[in-house]
Homo-oligomer: A and B are copies of this chain.
Amino acid sequence: MMPLAPSERARNVQLPIIPTVAGWIAETPGTISLGQGVAYYGPPPEAMRAIDRFLAAPGSHPYQPDAGMTDLRAAFEEKLRGENGIDAPFERRIIVTAGANQAFINAVLAICDPGDEVILLVPYYFNHEMAIALAGCRPVCVPTDGNFQPRLDAIEAAVTPRTRAVVTVSPNNPTGAVYSREVLTEINSLCARRGIYHISDEAYEYFTYDRAEHFSPGSLVGDAHTISIYSLSKAYGMASWRIGFLVAPERLFDDLIKVQDTVIVCAPAISQAVAREALRIGRGYCETHRETIAGVRRQVLRRLESASDLLSVPPSRGAFYFFAKVRAAMDDLQLAERLVREHGVAAIPGRTFGVGKECCLRISYGSLTLETATVGIDRLIDGLRKILGA
């Protein structure tokens, strides 16, 4: 190896796509972004009343407990019991992290040694693949079916003696697919049978449409092998505040605390204080906004379906994404760049999510209004038509 070269594990993971696309956007003023996955709204304004109290309280500025502030963890325990059907005493099962990404890499470091394998369903959430690779482990990619639903047989076939976990993301980033209780239960049983963990990323739990229902595999009776991950970034519009939750079997607690102490000591305390207020306000806040997003979603879907000669959009009822398959054998990264530079609309190329063969685009509608959705999708369709010469 060249002296002073970056590590192989770092060189081998992709450059984060979001900053790349943000660069194109910055150079193309007026671009409508169907790119980054963010909700259009911020945190509940009332949650900000926590700040004055936080600043006035003694002991707010030194380090806080590694696992998080007690009242926030207790509130999350209550939320889990009431909303998710998970009975997880916070003292030994809940850790507050600086966002769901940190929760995920903490979990990987606590259960995987270098060379171990973790099964991801493709299209995957890119930061999961990156975290596994950076941990010195091997992401094992298993394709989903035509509707982006898990294929149990393919997952089972991918398990080896080095497998330590199967990751599911439902509602899914990047496809919007929502996995049913039955499917998640089957994956969970498979994991139990094979003695591996089920990592369930539920960052989009509140974002379901058309009567789709979110299910938490950690709620299954007798479960002792599910690691559940949550985030306030989307649900409460708190992306920049960096608050997530890691809910794990008790046997992992001490080791997760070691990882947490090493990576970050504790999640930012002022964010924890605001998060506590946000949880007090509760999911009703998110549901009001979800209704608005649902309206935008219908609009986006209608327009995408009108262009079925150009692309197909498998049904999806969750998160705020559609994963469109473009009917052309074109390089997806080049396509995405041209859509920004020539047509003022940004989407994320499928390769970012491990999709190699088809030309796909992730379309995010969480931050759009009815108007930007209309204009944005029109630009996308118009752009595709021109670029593909269709």
Contact = CB atoms under 8 A, between A and B. Distances in A.
B271 A195 contact: no
Contacts of A267: 242
A284 to B, nearest CB: 19
A22 B240 CA distance: 30
A96 interface: no
A143 interface: no
A237 interface: yes
Contacts of A251: 4, 6
Given A239-B61, A240-B61, A255-B11, A265 B101 contact: yes
A55 interface: yes
B114 A136 contact: yes
Q: Taking each of A64, A65, A259, which has the highest tally of chain B beta carbons within 10 Å of its own beta carbon?
A: A259
Nearest to A129: B262
A6 B225 CA distance: 11
State the copy count for this chain: 2
B241 A265 contact: no
Interface in A214-255: 224-225, 233, 237-242, 249, 251-252, 254-255
A224 to B, nearest CB: 8
A15 B264 contact: no
Contacts of A61: 42-43, 237-241
Contact of A127 (B42, B256, B261): B261
A259 B110 contact: no
Contact of A102 (B48, B64, B134, B263): B263
A4 to B, nearest CB: 6
Query: Size class of A's contact patch?
Result: 35 or more
B66 A112 contact: no
A7 B262 contact: no
Nearest to A64: B240
A240 B62 contact: yes
A4 B225 contact: yes
A4 B195 contact: yes
A387 interface: no
Nearest to A115: B114
A98 B101 contact: no
A105 B134 CA distance: 11
A263 B3 contact: no
A237 B111 CA distance: 34
Given A51-B51, A114-B115, A268-B270, 12 more contacts: A4-B224, A6-B111, A7-B255, A10-B109, A10-B256, A15-B258, A63-B233, A101-B262, A102-B264, A127-B261, A242-B267, A242-B268
12 contacts: A4-B251, A7-B109, A9-B114, A13-B258, A16-B66, A51-B51, A63-B239, A98-B268, A99-B264, A135-B136, A240-B266, A268-B270
